[in-house]
A and B are shown apart, each in its own frame.
Chain A
Amino acid sequence: MYELVEYLLRGALLGITYGLLAFPVSLLFSTTGSVDVALGAYAVLAVAVAYTIGGPIGILAAILAAVFASFIVGIISLRLNRPGAVDHITAVLGTFGLAMFLESFILSVFGTNPMIRQPFETFWNLGGIRISPQTGINAAVCLVILTALFVVLRQTPFGRSMRASAANPVGASLNGIPVRQIWFATYLLGGLLAGIAGVLILYTTGADYSSAFTLTIWGFGSAIIFGMHSPLRGFAGGLMIGMVQALCAGYLPGAWATAIPFIVIFVVLSAGRMNQIAATGGRV
Chain B
Amino acid sequence: MLGSIRSRLAPIAVLAILVLLITPVIAGSAFWLDNSVIVAIFSLLALSVGMAYGQAGILSMAPAAFGAIGAFATSIVTARYGVSPLIGLVLALLLPAVLAYPMARAITRLSPLPLSIATLLLSLVLELAIREGGSFTGGYIGISGIPSLWFAESIFAMHVLSWCLVVAVLVLYANLTESAIGRAVKTARHDPLRATADGVNVPALLACYFAISASVAGLAGWLYAHHLTYMGPDSLTMHVSIKIVLMAVIGGASTLLGPILGAAFLTLLTLYLPAAETQGMIFGIVLIFVLLVAPNGVFGTDWKKLLMKRATQKSAAVRTVATGEGAA
Interface residues of A (CB under 8 A from B): 34-35, 37, 76, 79-90, 92-94, 96-105, 107-108, 169-170, 173-174, 178-180, 183, 213-214, 216-217, 220, 254-255, 258-259, 262-263, 265-266, 269-270, 272, 274-275, 277-282
Contacts and interface: CB of A to CB of B under 8 A. Distances in A.
Contacts, number: 167
A272 B106 CA distance: 10
Given A76-B288, A275-B114, 17 more contacts: A35-B113, A76-B291, A80-B295, A93-B59, A93-B245, A94-B287, A96-B245, A96-B287, A97-B242, A100-B239, A100-B280, A214-B124, A217-B121, A258-B128, A278-B110, A278-B192, A281-B191
B132 to A, nearest CB: 3
B208 interface: no
A88 B129 CA distance: 31
B57 A89 contact: yes
A266 B284 contact: no
Interface stretch (B92-100, B177-185, B211-219, B317-325): B317-325
**5 smallest beta-carbon distances between A and B, as pairs:** A104-B280, A101-B284, A173-B325, A255-B132, A278-B110
Contacts of B324: 82-83, 180
B281 interface: yes
A100 B284 contact: yes
B278 A104 contact: yes
A108 B278 contact: yes
B238 interface: yes
Interface of B: 53, 57, 59, 61, 106-107, 109-114, 116-118, 120-121, 124-125, 128-129, 131-132, 191-193, 238-239, 242, 245-246, 249, 275, 277-281, 283-285, 287-288, 291-292, 295, 320, 323-328
Nearest to B246: A97
Contacts of A98: 284, 288
A34 B328 CA distance: 12
A97 B284 contact: yes
A220 B117 contact: yes
A96 B61 contact: yes
A76 B121 CA distance: 24
Contact of A97 (B132, B275, B288): B288
A270 to B, nearest CB: 4
A25 B26 CA distance: 50
Interface centre among A97, A101, A173, A255 (most CB of B within 10 A): A97
B292 A217 contact: no
Interface centre among B57, B117, B125, B246 (most CB of A within 10 A): B117
